[in-house]
Amino acid sequence: MTAPSIDAVRLLGRLRELGAIGRNGEGRLTRLAASDSERDGRNRLVSWLEAAGLEIAVDRIGNIFGIWAEDTADRPPLMLGSHIDTVINAGIYDGCYGVLAGLEVIETLKSSGFVPVRPIVVVAFTNEEGVRYTPDMMGSLVYAGGLDVETALATVGTDGSVLGDELRRIGYAGDREPGFLKPCAYMELHIEQGPVLEREGVAIGAVENLQGISWQKVSVEGDANHAGTTPISMRRDAGYAAARVITFLRDRAKASNTPTVATVGCMAFEPNAINVIPSRVTFTVDLRDPDEERLKQEEAALADFLKMLSGEEGVAISVERLARFEPVTFDAGIVAGIEAAARARGLSWRRMTSGAGHDAQMIARMAPAAMIFVPSKGGISHNPKEFTGDDELVAGANVLLDVVRKLVGGE
């Protein structure tokens, strides 16, 4: 048979239709996990899964599965997916693209007469964004056994709600145990959420690993003296110490010739008065590296610098760990398959590292996994300006289709 291609009109139409669900009066798109608007998005997804003839399953943490098993249900399935919850004031691609492309691949294979030798499952994981309930990537984390389902269901949200209550309320507290299907492999198609593919003019990212993440909160205590009357030599300036950390991190990242990235995203000065030397400054440090040893080295280098700085400026510095994830290495065989599929379609491709967290990193605990990235205009995501061109979206879905055909086996 001729190699099929996905139905671009169907995929793009659904992406836009789902992207219309959860908009407020001003047109801002928000589908927080287990909210009314996310229920509407879930219902729409389920209607499409049913129309495609898939078996629907929902597990206790609210993950939705569309299963194409035929008479191979006893074999480990190939799983495709992502999530459909969003941040506040979101774009339409993040997560939804991976779920709808998974469905599109199944429908294309079904209608092409392909007979798989194992089930293919599309999944939408609960609460990937982590805006309403912490931690993020919760549904996939629970599914992979990294978090107890009872603990997760008891999570209290930023609005005081309890996740388990909300899942029941919206009709998505399922009865399947998380992990009930153990996949032979997991694939996730996603927009890059970074600028690399666009700037390099590359169509397909074969994502071979995912950065480790280290989040720390640093507090500096100095003296709140008068800006006019305190000579420079007598100052213990918490704001100056914070500035030194920012320039240290940049200088180190620039000099290192490694993929290490370091970001100071949050900053608060106290008393925050124009004529008072800052007495207390708190800021966050986000360190990422795909190599665990290097990430540890970066953390150690920062700790050494803070110690030196504390003595030099006469300030007290304390550090609180906010989050820490080890890097994830994706399956080399699947990554090679993505490269081969891109090449066969005449698409440019490159291996790359995911800088953001994804459900794939959680499922990688229980099965070989990998991701495919497509370009994000300007590297922008979590924002209404998030954009990937139609041709780029279709190209990514076709690469997924080809890899799935190879992985799943059949005729």
Q: How far apart are CA 45 and CA 51, in angstroms?
A: 10
Q: Which two tokens stand for residue 288?
A: 């990422």
Nearer to a second copy, 151 or 247 (CB): 247
Q: How far apart are CA 262 and CA 254, in angstroms?
A: 10
Using the rule CB under 8 A, give the single segment among 68-76, 148-156, 181-189, 241-249 that binds a second copy. Answer: 241-249
Which one among 126, 354, 388, 398 touches a second copy, defined by CB under 8 A? 354
326 binds a second copy (CB under 8 A): no
375 binds a second copy (CB under 8 A): no
Query: Which of positions 281-310 make contact with a second copy (CB under 8 A)?
Result: 281, 284, 286, 288
Which one among 30, 112, 382, 409 touches a second copy, defined by CB under 8 A? 382
181 binds a second copy (CB under 8 A): no
Residue whose token pair is 């979206």: 393
Neighbours of 1 (CB within 10 A): 7
Which one among 126, 361, 381, 398 touches a second copy, defined by CB under 8 A? 381
105 binds a second copy (CB under 8 A): no
Q: Does residue 150 contact residue 171 with C-beta atoms inside 8 Å? A: no
Q: Does residue 89 contact residue 135 with C-beta atoms inside 8 Å? A: no
Which one among 51, 73, 115, 267 touches a second copy, defined by CB under 8 A? 267
Radius of gyration of the chain (CA): 23
Q: How far apart are CA 336 and CA 153, in angstroms?
A: 38
Q: How far apart are CA 150 and CA 61, in angstroms?
A: 9
DSSP H or E segment with residue 329: strand 328-329
9 binds a second copy (CB under 8 A): no
Nearer to a second copy, 51 or 322 (CB): 322
Query: x/- binding map, residues 38-77, to a second copy, per CB under 8 A?
Result: ----------------------------------------
Q: How far apart are CA 345 and CA 48, in angstroms?
A: 28
Residue whose token pair is 């205590």: 221
226 binds a second copy (CB under 8 A): yes
229 binds a second copy (CB under 8 A): yes
Q: Does residue 137 contact residue 359 with C-beta atoms inside 8 Å? A: yes
Binding site for a second copy (CB under 8 A): 192-196, 199, 211, 213, 215, 223-234, 237, 239-240, 242-247, 250, 253-254, 259, 261-269, 272-278, 281, 284, 286, 288, 322, 354-357, 378-383
